[in-house]
Structure 1
């Protein structure tokens, strides 16, 4: 399966994986579920779910202090 991963404000990646989860897509772009959220059609999805789409958006979570 080929999935386009659009990391908002950064790059777009083409990821090829067999039966990936959304966490697998985050790992492929060097992010963890603690650092970012995956959105499908503008809605967050659980990272342990299998990917059922060919395009996702990744939003990095804001950190600060």
Structure 2
């Protein structure tokens, strides 16, 4: 599955989940990519952003189940 990661006010990234190093575990024991893994792919820390799916925040350790993710920066240097 391909996932669009839209970092608001910055870039949009297309990520193929097949190429992501997965850290989560599905109910059947299979290793699956999490939202934390997506953040790592775009060089962001879960400590500085919120991940939204359909406008609602999702935990970064949850397996990726959406094809479109919005990322909001909570901290911006300056």
TM (norm. structure 1) is 0.90
Say what the alpha-carbon RMSD is for the aligned residues: 1.4
Instruction: Give unmatched runs, 5+ long, in structure 2.
Output: 19-31
Q: Does residue 44 of the first structure (1) align with residue 57 of the second (2)?
A: yes
Instruction: Give unmatched runs, 5+ long, in structure 1.
Output: none
Local SS of the residue matching 1:26:
helix
Shift of 1:63: 5.3
Bigger relative CO (Cα 8 Å, ≥ 6 apart): 1
In 1, Cα distance between the equivalents of 2:44 and 2:5? 12
**Structure 1 runs of 4+ with >6 Å offset:** none
In 1, Cα distance between the equivalents of 2:54 and 2:40? 20
TM (norm. structure 2) is 0.76
Q: 1:63 to 1:9 in 2, by over 3 A?
A: closer
In 2, Cα distance between the equivalents of 1:51 and 1:36? 16
* Count of aligned pairs: 64
